[in-house]
Chain A
Amino acid sequence: GQSLEQPSEVTAVEGAIVQINCTYQTSGFYGLSWYQQHDGGAPTFLSYNGLDGLEETGRFSSFLSRSDSYGYLLLQELQMKDSASYFCAVRVYSGAGSYQLTFGKGTKLSVIP
C-alpha cells in the first residue's frame, strides 16, 4: 500500500511564504501531485513533479526528491483566498497500464491578516 504524511494544519500571515511538506512510502512511484480544496468544493490540481527538482507555476512551486521520498509545496505572497486544504497525492503504477492516485490526509492552511 501507500502512505503519505503531511502536517494537519498550518497558519501563515498574508503576504508571507509557507511551505507544506509531504513524505511518502510506496512502491511503483510515478510522480507527486498537489491539489487545493476550498471548504465545500472539489479538489483542483495545482502542480505535478515526476522528476527531482522544482516546478514553478506563478505563486506556487513544488519540489520533489525521489531519493528522499519527499516533496513540498511552496506558496508565496500569500493571499486570503489561499486559505484552503492542500493535499499531496502519489501517482503509482499498479501494473497492466493502470495507475492509482492516492492522497494524503491534507493540510489545512489558514491565512491571517
Chain B
Amino acid sequence: NAGVTQTPKFQVLKTGQSMTLQCAQDMNHNSMYWYRQDPGMGLRLIYYSASEGTTDKGEVPNGYNVSRLNKREFSLRLESAAPSQTSVYFCASSEHPRQTGGGTEAFFGQGTRLTVV
C-alpha cells in the first residue's frame, strides 16, 4: 500500500500565484488533515475533514481553502500565495478513534516543500 501520497514534493511560486496541493490515501480512513510546519513552530493544523463532504478550520486557516473530493482525496488550495506561506505542508489521515482502542494512529505523507518568492 502507498499510504498517504502528496503531490508535488517541491514547488516554487511567485507572490500572488495560486496552486493546489494534492493528497490521497488508500487506507479507507475517514479523517484527513492538512498541517504546515515551520521551524520552531511544530505542526500547525490548517484544515481537517471528518468525512467526505465535511471540512473544518484548524488553527491557521487564513489564506487557504480545502476540498474533500471523496473519501480518498483532500486537497489544499492557495488562492493568492504570499511569502508567509513558505513552509512544509503535510497531509495526514486516520480512522476515527474506536472504543476498542484502535484508530488512534495518524499516517503522514512525505510533505510538500513550498517556497513563495
Contacts and interface: CB of A to CB of B under 8 A. Distances in A.
Interface of A: 1, 8, 30-31, 33, 35, 41-45, 48, 50, 87, 89, 91, 94, 96-106
A94 B51 CA distance: 13
A50 B94 CA distance: 16
A76 B106 CA distance: 24
Interface residues of B, number: 30
B101 A45 contact: no
A1 B109 contact: no
Interface of B: 31, 33, 35, 40-45, 48, 50-51, 54, 56, 58-59, 90, 92, 94, 96-97, 101, 104-111
Given A98-B48, A100-B45, A91 B104 contact: yes
B30 to A, nearest CB: 8
Contact of A30 (B56, B59, B92, B97): B97
A30 B97 CA distance: 9
Contacts of A45: 105-107
B23 to A, nearest CB: 12
A101 B48 contact: yes
B94 A43 contact: no
Q: Is the interface of A mostly helix, strand, loop or mixed?
A: strand
B97 A102 contact: no
Given A42-B90, A94-B56, A97-B96, A103 B42 contact: yes
Contact of A31 (B31, B44, B97, B107): B97
B52 to A, nearest CB: 12
A51 B111 CA distance: 31
B42 A105 contact: yes
Contact of B104 (A33, A43, A97, A102): A33
B46 to A, nearest CB: 12
Nearest to A51: B101
A89 B110 CA distance: 19
